[in-house]
Amino acid sequence: GQQLNQSPQSMFIQEGEDVSMNCTSSSIFNTWLWYKQDPGEGPVLLIALYKAGELTSNGRLTAQFGITRKDSFLNISASIPSDVGIYFCAGHPQGAQKLVFGQGTRLTINP
Amino acid sequence: DGGITQSPKYLFRKEGQNVTLSCEQNLNHDAMYWYRQDPGQGLRLIYYSQIVNDFQKGDIAEGYSVSREKKESFPLTVTSAQKNPTAFYLCASSLPEGGRGYNEQFFGPGTRLTVL
C-alpha cells in the first residue's frame, strides 16, 4: 500500500536546540497531519495542513505543506524536555479514502 | 469532557481465546477506526466505519472483527485466527467524509494486548 518516508528515524539533541523532521511521498497528498505520541499513549494531533504551501504554527511548532504536495516538514524551536516522544506524519493521498502514516521520528532530549 | 475512551488499558489473554477491546467516543463523530501499532512501527489500519451499521476492512483485517451498532461505540474482537495478536491497539474517530475535518483523526489512549 501507500507509504510515507519519514526522516530522521531518531534524533538526540540538547535542550534548547531546534528540531526539523520531514515526510515525503511518491504521490500527491491532499492533507498532511502531524501527531505526537508519548510512551504508552495515543497520538495527539499537533497540526493539520490542507493547502500546498500552507505554513501553520502551534506554539513552538511550525509545519509546512510542501509546494509539490508530496512532502511536509515539522520544526520545533527551542526544545524542552516535554517535547520528548515520537512524532508521526500522516497524509490523505489524492483519490484515497484512508490516512497513511509515516514510521515516526523518535525525539530524545538531553537536559 | 468530550473524548475517546478505550478499555482496558492492559489486557492479557491465553493463546486461542477471542478478546474484545472497547472503544467509546462522545465527540459525535460519524467515522471510527481501529489501528494496530507494533514496537518501533507506524500505525496500520485494521477496520474503519463511516456510519452506523457499516464498516470496511483496512490493510490488516484478517483475524479481527468489528461491529458498529451505535454511533458512539466501535468494539474490536481479536479472534484466535489472528496469528500474532500481541500489540498496542488504538481507536480513533473523525468527522464524516467530505468535510474538511474528516482527515483529522482523534485517538484514544490505547489498549496493550498481550497474548500468553
A37-50 b/e with 16+ CB inside 10 Å = b?
A: beeeebbebbbbbb
Q: Nearest CA to B67 among B22, B107, B104? A: B22
- Per-residue model confidence (pLDDT) at position A96: 76
State how far the Cα of A68 lies from the Cα of B80, in Å rounded to an integer: 45
Pair A78, A67: CB distance under 8 Å? no
The helix (H) or strand (E) run that includes residue A24 is strand A19-24
Confidence of residue B1 (pLDDT cuts 50, 70, 90): low
Contact A42 B108 (CB under 8 A): yes
pLDDT digits (tens, 9 = 90+) for A66-105: 999 999 999 999 999 999 999 999 998 887 778 899 999 9
Q: How far is CA B79 from the centre of its chain?
A: 14
- Per-residue model confidence (pLDDT) at position B97: 65
Confidence of residue B79 (pLDDT cuts 50, 70, 90): very high
Q: Nearest CA to A89 among A19, A27, A36, A17? A: A36
| B27 DSSP 8-state letter | S
Which of chain B's residues have a Cβ under 8 Å away from the Cβ of A31?
Answer: 103
Chain A: nearest CA to B20, how far in angstroms? 19
Give the 3-state secondary structure of residue A81: helix
Q: Are strands B10-13 and B111-115 parallel, antiparallel or unpaired?
A: parallel
pLDDT at B99 over 80: no
Which of chain A's residues have a Cβ under 8 Å away from the Cβ of B89?
Answer: none
pLDDT digits (tens, 9 = 90+) for B12-68: 999 889 999 999 999 999 999 999 999 878 899 999 999 999 999 999 999 999 999
Contact A50 B90 (CB under 8 A): no
